[in-house]
Structure 1
Amino acid sequence: MTQHAARPNGRRTAPAAKDQSPALGAAQGDANGASAAEPKRPASRSGTKRSPKPKLSIVSSNGTTIAPTARRTADKDVPLREDIRFLGRLLGECLREQEGDAAFEVVETIRQTAVRFRRENDRAAGAELDRLLKRLSRDQTNQVVRAFSYFSHLANIAEDQHHNRRRRVHALAGSPPQAGSLAHALEAIDAAGVTGKQLRKFLDEALIVPVLTAHPTEVQRKSILDAEREIARLLAERDLPMTARERDHNTAQLRAKVTTLWQTRMLRDSRLTVADEIENALSYYRTCFLRGIPQLMSELEEDIAAVFPTTRKRKGTPGAQPAPLAPFLQMGSWIGGDRDGNPNVTAETLEHAASQQGQMIIDWYLDEVHALGAELSMSTLMVDASPELLALAERSPDHSEHRADEPYRRALIGIYARLAATSKALTGHAVPRRPVAPAEPYDSAEAFAADVQVVVDSLRANHGQALANGRIEALARAIGVFGFHLASVDMRQVSDVHEAVIAELFAAAGIAPDYAALPEARKLELLLAELRQPRLLTLPWHEYSEQTRKELAIFAAARELRARYGKRIARNYIISHTETLSDLVEVMLLQKESGMLQGTLGSKTDPARMELMVIPLFETIEDLRNAAGIMQSLLDLPGFDSVIAHHGVEQEVMLGYSDSNKDGGFLTSTWELYKAELELVQLFEQRQVKLRLFHGRGGTVGRGGGPTYQAILSQPPGTVNGQIRLTEQGEIINSKFANAEIGRRNLETVVAATLEASLLPQQNAPKDLDMFEAVMQQLSDRAFTAYRDLVYETPGFKDYFFATTPITEIADLNLGSRPASRKLMDKKNRRIEDLRAIPWGFSWGQCRLLLPGWYGFGSAVKSLLDTAPDDKARKLAVTTLRRMVKTWPFFSTLLSNMDMVLAKTDLAVASRYAQLCDDAALRRTVFNRISKEWHLTCEMLTLVTGHQERLADNPLLARSIKNRFAYLDPLNHLQVELLKRYRSGKDGDDIRVRRGIHLTINGVAAGLRNTG
C-alpha cells in the first residue's frame, strides 16, 4: 500500500528559499506545545495489545519514494516545509510588487542574516543584523516588521494544515487511536471495565463547557482573521488532486489573499468596543462550533455503539439504534457580561450580546431548515410518513397543491415560518428570506426541537434512515446544544463593587450607615436578616449612585433575558476576589432585589430558589487557601440546601490561575490550586453535592495554559468527574478554533480528557502520593520565597518591569475593551498588584523572558537538595523527584509546561530589553538575578528529568521553536529600537514609530502563539 502523505503527484513544488532550509518546523496545535493532531501518547493503561502500524511509503511532491525503514520525523515534515516556502514566496512576490525591489531586498537580506545568526551561531551575522536594523528608516522599519509578522501568520496556517494532514494520514493508515482522541479514551475505558450503561449514565449527567472570554491579548483584527481563514482553506485544497489549470487558479487566489493581507491595516485605529468583541467571538461559531459540536457528538455516539453495543432503541425506530446523548458539550461566554474592571460592560451590552447570539443561531436554523425543505422531497405516493409528521404538515401555512403529496416539505415550510416569527419576537430581526405566510412563534427552543424530532422519527420509521442521519439529525443535535441562546453568558463583577452597592442600599434604607466598615459576622447578620424579609430593600423614589443603578440594571436585564431566551442564556454569576462568605451572600441579596430569588432562605413552607448560581472566584494564593473554608460556610447557611437543590444539587467554584501566579509564582500557584481542588472535593463529597470546577486558564503556562489534554489528565483525583468549565482566552481562541478541523479536534481532546480523568482516576494516584505531596509542598514554599523576593521585595523591581517590557505600549494598544489594570495608574503610584495578570504575562512574553512560567523552580530544587543532611539523602531526594516525574501526572505536566516555556525564553534577546532601563545598577541587579535563576532552573530541570536539551521528548516542537527564533529576532530587535525612539520623546509624536511598536507586538505574539 502506498500512501501519498505529502502531495498528489503533479503538484508544483514551490522553489526553496536561498538558505535551502525550511523556515519553520512543525509547531504546537494546542497553541501551547502539544500538537492538536498528534498529542503526546502516554503509556497504555488498558493492557490491551495493539496491532502494529502498517508500514507506509511516503511519496514527496517530486515523486521521490522514501523507504519505510528510512523514514524519519523530518521526512514527515516535507509537505510542511513546502507549504511554508510556497506561502513565503507568495509573500515575497507581494512585497516586491507592492513596495518595490529595494524593499524586497532589504527584507530578504535581513531574513538571511537572521537565519545565519540564529541557526549557525554566527556572531558576525549577529553584529551585521544589528547594523542592518539600526540603519532602517521609519518607513522601512514598518515594512520589515509587517513582512516578518505576516510570515509568522502564514507559517502558523501551514502548521495547522500539516496537523490536519498528519491526522488524516494516520486515519488512512489505520493507526492505533491517538491519545486525545475519543477512540483512545473509549478503548481505555472499556479495558478498565466500565460498562456501556455506566458510560451513558455518566454522559447524561456530564457538563463540559469551553467559555470564550474577551481579554486584551488577541492582537488580530477580524478582517485579518477572515483573510487568513480563506488562505487556510485554499492551502488545504492543494492536497487534493488538481489539474494544472486548477492549481494555477488556486495559486492566483492565494496570491490575491496574501495581497489582501498586505493591503489591509493590521492594527485597529480605535479601541475595540464590547460590541466588536461580541461580533469577533460569534465568527468562530460559523467557522467551528455550529457544525463541529453536533458532528463530534454524532461520532461519539457511533464510537460508543461500536465499543459498547446496546439494545436501547429510539422511539418508533425499527432495529437497535445508538441512544441519543444528552447535550453535555455546550458553549459559554463572558463577552457582554464580564464587568470586572471593565466599565464598558453594562445592562445594554448584556442585552446586545443575547440579541446577537439569538439572531445568529436562529438565522443558522433558518438556513438549515430551508436547505432541508429542498432536500426532503419525499412523496406519500412513494413512501409512508408518520401520523405525527402528517399532522405537522397539516398545520403548515403552505397549502400549495404542488406539494400536497410532499408532507416533509410542507412540515418544514411550517417550521420555517414559525422560526421566522420567533426571530422577529426575540431579536426584532426580520429574516431576509420571507416565509410563505405569518405563523405563531415558538415559545421555547424545546418546542422547535420537538417539531424537528417529528421529522427525524418519521424518516427513521419509514425507510429514511440514511436521510435521518444527515442534516436533519445534525440540526436536532444543534438545537439541544445551542437552543435559542447559542451560549450561556456569565456575569462577573469584583466583590468590592457588590459591597459598595449593598452599603448604599443599606444606608438609604436606614439599616446600616457604614456597612463596609462592619466586621464579617455583623455583615452576615444583616444580609441574612434582609434575605428573610418579604419586602424589597430598594426604595423606588431614592436617587442612587450611577454605579448602584448600573449594577441593579444588570440583574434586571438577566431576569428579562432568561424569560425571553430560556434559562440557559444566563445561569452563572461569578464573584471575583471572593475573600469572605459575605461576598457571596451579597449577590444573593441583589438577586432577591431583582426578583431572581423566590421564597425565603430557611423557610420550610416556601424554601429559597435562586435563578443565578453564585460562583466564587478564588484568585490569590490566600484566597485559594481559604476556598474550602468559605464553601463550607456557604453550604452551612440555614436554608441553602434548597438553593443547591434548585440547581440540581450542584455547585460551581471557579479557580483563577492568572492572579495566583502573579501573586505567588508558577510553582506555588500550581500547587495551591491542586491543594484547593482536593480540599473542595473532600468537602463536597461529604455534603453529597456535585462539585463543578471552572478553570480560569489563559494561554501562557504562567496563566494555567499548556496542552489541554495533559492539563485535564493531571487534575487531582475526583476533581473532574464529568463536570468542567474552562476559559478560552485571547489569541488562543483563534489558534484553536479558526480552522474548523483543528477546532473540532481541540473540542474532541477536551471531551476525551474529561472521560479519561473522570472514569480512569487511578492514573492520577501513584502509590507514593503522600510522600510526593510532601516534597511538592517543600518545593512550593521555597519557590514562593524566591519569587516574592524578586517581584515584591526587590527595591525598584516594578520600575524595571515597566521600563524593560512594552507593558505601557500594550496598555495603549487597541487590543480590547478592557483596561490593562483595574485601577488607573500614574508613574508614581503604579503597582504590580494593581496590574492585570493578563498584560503582565503578555509583556514578559514580548521581551522573551516568559518569567511567570518558570521563575523560582531552580531555587526551590537547589534549596531542597542543599538542606539534605548528607550525600545519601541528597541522592534519595533526586531519586524521589525523578519518580515524581515518571509516576505523577501532575508533576510531569508541570515540568513539561515549564520545559516548553524555558525553550521559548531567550536571554540574549531579553538582555536587549534590559538596556531600556536607564538605572544601570537596577538593571544589573534585576537582570542578573533573572539570568542566574534561568540557568539554575535549566540545570535543576535537567537533573530531575535527565534531559540535557530542552523539549528532548518533543523534538517536533523543539525544532519549531528553534526555527521560529530566526524570524522573531528581527521583530524583537526592532521593538527595542522603536521603544527607545518612542520613549526618548524625539520621535514620540511620529505615528510611524508608534505604529511600528504595535506591529512588532503583533508579530511577536503571532510567532510565539501562546502569549496571552
Structure 2
Amino acid sequence: MHREPKLERFNENVLSKYQIYNSLFLTLPFNDIRKTGSLLPLFQEVCEKGFKENKNPSEIVEAFFKKYLDDPSEKDMNDLLFRFIQYIERQVVLFDAIEDAAFPIVNNMDGIGTLRNIKEESESRNQNEKLREFLTRFKVRPTLTAHPTQFYPGAVLGIITDLDKAIQNDDLVKIKQLLSQLGKTPFFKKEKPTPLDEAISLIWYFENVFYQSVSKIYSYIQQNMFDGDSIGNEIIELGFWPGGDRDGNPFVTTDITLQVAKRLKSTILFCYYRDARKLKRRLTFEGVNETIEEIERALYDGAVSESATIKLPLKELKVKLHAIREVLINKHQSLFLDEVDDLLNKVNLFGYHLATLDIRQDSGVHEEVLSEIIAVCEKRGDNLIPKNYKELSDKEQIEILSNVTGNLSADEFDSEDGMGKATISSIHAMKQIQKTNGEKGANRYIISHSEVPQSVLEPFAFLRLCGWDQPSVDIIPLFETVPDLKASPEVMKTLYSNPVYREHLERRGNKQTIMLGFSDGTKDGGYLMANWSIYKAKQELTEISREYDIKVTFFDGRGGPPARGGGKTHQFYASLGSAIENEEIQLTVQGQTISSNFGTKDSCQYNLEQLISAGVSNEIFNHGKNNLSDEDRKTMVNLAETSYNTYMDFKAHPRFIPYLEKMSTLKYYAKTNIGSRPSKRNNNALNLDNLRAIPFVGSWSQLKQNVPGFFGVGTALKKYEENGEFDKVKQLYNNSIFFKTLLENSMMSLTKSFFELTAYMKEDEEFGEFWQIIHDEYIRSKEMLLKVTGYKELMENEPAMRASIQARERIVLPLLTIQQHALRMVQKLQDSGDTERLDEFEKMVTRSLYGNINASRNSA
C-alpha cells in the first residue's frame, strides 16, 4: 500500500525518473552531430525565458542561434530544428513509458472506484444482493476507433512496452539499449496507413492488454461477488471500428471489412491456443490429457489457416472444456481447475469474434444508395421502391422503407464508384462474418447524422433488401449536432410506433441502442450546450423508451480531450441520475485515450473498473441523488443558452474560418499520415459542416488555445455574477456531480492553454482583434471557474494530473515554438515564389504537428 500523497508518488516515480533517464537519453549519439542532445535543454531554457519576456517564436529561435551557434546558415538552423523535433518526439515516448511503469504506484489499485472498493462499500451498506442482481444485467462496452489523435508505428509501441518493463525493473543497461533503439526507429509515416494497418495496430491492444485485463476483472467479480458461481452476463464486451467505419473514409472497402474480421478471429484463436498450450503442460492426467491436446491442435490450425476457419465449433469447445472441468473435480482433486475456469471465462467473454466489428455510414450516403437502388429496381422492372419515392410524403416513404424486402446482390450495381455496390456488399459481408465469427462478430449498423426516421429506416430496408427478412442486426442512429439532439425524441417515437420496426426490436430483446456524438456537438454548439443537449436528450429518450417498454442503451461517441467528450469519463457516468437509463456504458475510445487509459494491463484494469464502479454507484449507492432539482435545472438551461449564443456569435465571426486556415495547423493534418481517413468529409471549400471534429479540436490544441473546451463558459458564469445570482451557480456546482465534472474538464482545457505562444498575433492587422476575443474569454473562464470552485489555481483538486500535464507541456514547448516559427515563415514566404524554402518550412510544420499529436496523450 502506497501511503504518500499521490502528488509525491508522481514526483518520485515519474518526474524524478524522467529527469534521470532523459539525461541519459540526451547523451546518446544518434547521428553524426552529437551536439543535438546538449543543445536541446539550452533551447528549452531560451523558449521559457523568451515567452516570459513577450518575445515571439521567431525571435526566440533567432536568439537561440545567435547565442549558441556561430553564424549558422539557414540550412544548418533548419537541420538542427528538425533534429530537435526528432528528439522531443522520443522524449515524449520516454515520458509515456515512465508514466505507464509507475501507473500502479501512482494510482491506488484498490482505492475509490475499484472493484475491491465496490465490494467493501456494498458490504458496509448491506447492498450485496442488490449489487449481484445489478451485475447480472449491467455491461461496459469500450469500442476502439482509429480516429487519429495518436498513432505510433507498431515498432514504437513495442519499444514503449519494453521500456515500461525495463523501467519497472530499474534495468539501466536495457533502458540504455532501448533508448538507443528508439533514437534510430523512424516515427514519421511516409504513407498514410490503410484501414487494415489501423486495425492491426489496435488489435495489438486487444491481444496484449484487454484479453488479460478483462478476464481478470471478470474472475474477480465471479469469485468475490458471486462465490464462484456463473454470473450469466459478460459484464465487459469489446467493440471495434477500424475496417467497419465507412463514414467519410473511402478506403474502407468490403474486402478490408472481411480481412479485419478474419484478423480479429485469428487473434482470439491464437490467444486461446497459447492458454491451451500452457494448460497441456499441467493437464497430464488420464481423462483430460487427450482432450486438451485435441483443443490445442484445433485452435492452432484455425489460427494459422488462411481463412481462420476452425473445425471445432464454439459450442463444442465449451463442451470439451466443461468435460475437462468435471473430470478434474471428480477424479483429480480439482487440480488446476482455476486455469481451466480462466480459459472457459475467456471463451465465454470473447467467443470466436473477440470484438464486435461495427459498420458505420453517413445518412447522406444512404440517400445516394437509395437512388441507385431505385435505378436497379427500374432496370429489373420490379418496382420494389417506386421511381417517384423522393416526391412522396414522409408517411408514404416510411411505409415503403418499413415493408420492402428483396434479394439484392452487389453485382447488380453498374458503377464501381457509386456507394450502392459498396453498401450492399458491406451488408452481405455482415452476414458472412456472422457465419464465421458468430452473430456478435458484426451485428450493429450505425448511421451518422441521423436527422429523421427515414435515416434509420433506410439501412433497415437495405438489410431486408439483401434477403435478410429478420436481420440479426441492431440499427443504431447517431445524433450529433444540437438540432439533431433536439429532434431525436420525435425520431425515436416515430420508430417505436412503427409496427414493423417494433417487431424487429422485439426480436432483438426489446432493446434499442442510440449513439450520441460529443465531438460534432461541441464543434456545432460549444462545450456547455453540447454536453447539456446530450444529457437532456438522454433523459427524454429514456422517458420515451420506457413509455414504449423499450430498454434504451446509450453509446457515447467520446474523444480523448474534454472538448470531444473525454476527460474524467467515469465521473460523467456516476452522475447521470435515475432519469437516464444506465444498464450499459458504451463509449468510443480513440487516439491517445487508448494508450493512456488502456495501454497497459494495470491502466486497462483500473479504468475498466472505474467505469463499472460508475454504473454501480449511480444505480445503487447514489440512486435518486443525482437528479437535478427544478431550480438547478433552470440554472443549467440558462448557462447552456448563454454559452451557446456566445459560441455561435464567435463562430459567425468573419475571421473564424480564415483564422483556422491561415494561423493554425488545420490544413497540415491531412499531411501527417496518422490516419486513413481524409480530414474533411468532401473536397469542397472548407466550412465547418464538412470539417471533421478531430482536426478542428486538434488545431486549437496545437495553438494552445483549446477554444472548444471552454469558449462561452466564462461569459455564461459571468452573467450570473453580474446579475447578483452567482449563489445559484455555486448551488448547482455543489448539488450536481454532472455540472461539477463539466467544469473540472473545462479546467483541464484551460490548464493546457498557453496564450504566450501566440501573443504575437494580437498585433496582426487581420487577426489581432479575433485573437483578443479568444484571450478575453480564456481569462474570463479561468477567473469564473476559480470563483465557482473556490480553488486558488486550476485543477487544484488533481495535483498529480496537473503535474503530469505541466511536465508534458514543458517537454513540447520547444516543439510548439518551432511549429509557430515555421508557420510564421510560411506566411512570410507565401507569395515570394521561393517554393524550395516554403516547402522546407511547411515540412517543419507537419513534422512538429505529428510530434505534438503523439505528445498530447491527454490533450484538450
TM-score (norm: length of structure 1): 0.79
Cα displacement (A) at 1:1002? 3.0
Q: Which amino acid aligns with 1:812?
A: K
Cα deviation, 1:268-300, whole Å, max 9, x if unaligned, reads: 010010110111011112220111111111112
**Aligned counterpart, 2:20:** 86
Cα displacement (A) at 1:130? 5.7
Counterpart secondary structure, 2:572: helix
1:130–1:178 Cα change, 3 Å:
farther
1:573 aligns with 2:408: no
Q: Equivalents in 1 of 2:505, 2:9: separation in Å?
A: 57
Of residues 883, 886, 894 in structure 1, which corresponds to 2:742? Answer: 894
1:856 aligns with 2:712: yes
1:996–1:278 Cα change, 3 Å:
same
Q: Which amino acid aligns with 2:389?
A: Y
Of residues 851, 854, 857 in structure 2, which corresponds to 1:1003? Answer: 851
Q: Which range moved further: 712-721 or 537-546? A: 537-546
1:194 aligns with 2:124: no
Q: Quote the sequence identity (%).
A: 23
Cα displacement (A) at 1:541? 5.7
Q: Equivalents in 2 of 1:514, 1:848: separation in Å?
A: 52
**Aligned counterpart, 2:698:** 842
Q: Equivalents in 1 of 2:95, 2:142: separation in Å?
A: 27
Cα displacement (A) at 1:82? 2.9
Contact 1:559–1:595 under 8 Å retained in 2? no
1:730–1:649 Cα change, 3 Å:
same
Contact 2:156–2:182 under 8 Å retained in 1? yes
Contact 1:697–1:727 under 8 Å retained in 2? yes
Q: Equivalents in 2 of 1:518, 1:110: separation in Å?
A: 67
Contact 2:139–2:583 under 8 Å retained in 1? yes
Of residues 752, 757, 780 in structure 2, which corresponds to 1:936? Answer: 780
**Aligned counterpart, 1:74:** 8
Of residues 927, 939, 945 in structure 1, which corresponds to 2:771? Answer: 927
Cα displacement (A) at 1:335? 0.9
Of residues 91, 95, 98 in structure 2, which corresponds to 1:158? Answer: 98
1:716–1:660 Cα change, 3 Å:
farther
1:98 aligns with 2:31: yes
What pairs up with 1:188-587 in 2 under 5 angstroms? 188-196=121-129, 198-238=130-170, 250-305=171-226, 321-324=228-231, 326-378=233-285, 406-423=286-303, 427-428=306-307, 441-443=311-313, 445-465=314-334, 467-470=336-339, 472-510=340-378, 511=383, 512-516=386-390, 518-531=392-405, 535-536=406-407, 543=414, 546-587=418-459
Q: Equivalents in 1 of 2:124, 2:582: separation in Å?
A: 19
Q: Which amino acid aligns with 1:731?
A: Q
1:190–1:643 Cα change, 3 Å:
farther
Cα deviation, 1:700-726, whole Å, max 9, x if unaligned, reads: 111101122212112343435321210
1:149 aligns with 2:89: yes
1:762–1:910 Cα change, 3 Å:
farther
**Aligned counterpart, 1:138:** 78
Q: Which range moved further: 844-853 or 148-157? A: 148-157
1:844–1:542 Cα change, 3 Å:
closer
Q: Equivalents in 1 of 2:65, 2:477: separation in Å?
A: 50
Cα deviation, 1:858-898, whole Å, max 9, x if unaligned, reads: 111223443x3xxxxx1xx2112112112211100001101
Q: Equivalents in 1 of 2:639, 2:212: separation in Å?
A: 46
1:111 aligns with 2:44: yes
Contact 2:410–2:422 under 8 Å retained in 1? no
Counterpart secondary structure, 2:719: helix
Across the aligned residues of Structure 1 and Structure 2, the Cα RMSD in angstroms comes to 2.6
Cα displacement (A) at 1:561? 1.3
Q: Which amino acid aligns with 2:209?
A: C
Counterpart secondary structure, 2:149: coil
Q: Equivalents in 2 of 1:914, 1:263: separation in Å?
A: 41
**Aligned counterpart, 2:117:** 184
1:771 aligns with 2:631: yes
Name structure 1 gaps, 5 residues minimum.
6-55, 59-70, 172-176, 239-249, 311-320, 379-405, 431-439, 599-608, 869-873
**Aligned counterpart, 1:977:** 821
1:784–1:750 Cα change, 3 Å:
same
Cα displacement (A) at 1:97? 5.6
1:786 aligns with 2:646: yes
1:267–1:413 Cα change, 3 Å:
same
Q: Which amino acid aligns with 1:968?
A: V
Q: Which amino acid aligns with 1:105?
A: S
Cα displacement (A) at 1:519? 4.0
1:756–1:645 Cα change, 3 Å:
same
Cα deviation, 1:347-380, whole Å, max 9, x if unaligned, reads: 11110011111111112212221221112223xx
**Aligned counterpart, 1:590:** 462
Counterpart secondary structure, 2:792: coil
Cα displacement (A) at 1:979? 2.4
Counterpart secondary structure, 1:694: strand
Q: Which amino acid aligns with 1:801?
A: L
Q: Equivalents in 1 of 2:585, 2:507: separation in Å?
A: 20
Cα displacement (A) at 1:923? 0.5
**Aligned counterpart, 1:882:** 730
Query: Number of paired residues?
Result: 840
Counterpart secondary structure, 1:289: helix
Q: Which amino acid aligns with 1:132?
A: F
Counterpart secondary structure, 1:691: strand
Cα displacement (A) at 1:988? 5.2
Cα deviation, 1:886-911, whole Å, max 9, x if unaligned, reads: 22111000011011111111111133
Q: Equivalents in 2 of 1:542, 1:229: separation in Å?
A: 47
Contact 2:672–2:849 under 8 Å retained in 1? no
Q: Which amino acid aligns with 1:205?
A: R
1:982–1:461 Cα change, 3 Å:
farther
Of residues 797, 802, 816 in structure 1, which corresponds to 2:656? Answer: 797
Q: Which amino acid aligns with 1:212?
A: L
1:341–1:971 Cα change, 3 Å:
same
1:694 aligns with 2:551: no
TM-score (norm: length of structure 2): 0.92
What pairs up with 1:754-769 in 2 under 5 angstroms? 754-762=615-623, 764-765=625-626, 769=629
Q: Equivalents in 1 of 2:410, 2:665: separation in Å?
A: 48
Cα displacement (A) at 1:947? 1.8
Counterpart secondary structure, 1:745: helix
1:992–1:764 Cα change, 3 Å:
farther
Q: Which amino acid aligns with 1:695?
A: D
1:576–1:98 Cα change, 3 Å:
same
Q: Equivalents in 2 of 1:536, 1:549: separation in Å?
A: 14
Runs of 4 or more consecutive aligned structure 1 residues displaced over 6 Å after TM superposition: 122-127, 133-136, 537-540
**Aligned counterpart, 2:69:** none
Cα displacement (A) at 1:529? 4.4
Cα deviation, 1:52-75, whole Å, max 9, x if unaligned, reads: xxxx6x7xxxxxxxxxxxx89437
Of residues 747, 750, 756 in structure 2, which corresponds to 1:908? Answer: 756
Name structure 2 gaps, 5 residues minimum.
67-71
Cα displacement (A) at 1:733? 1.1
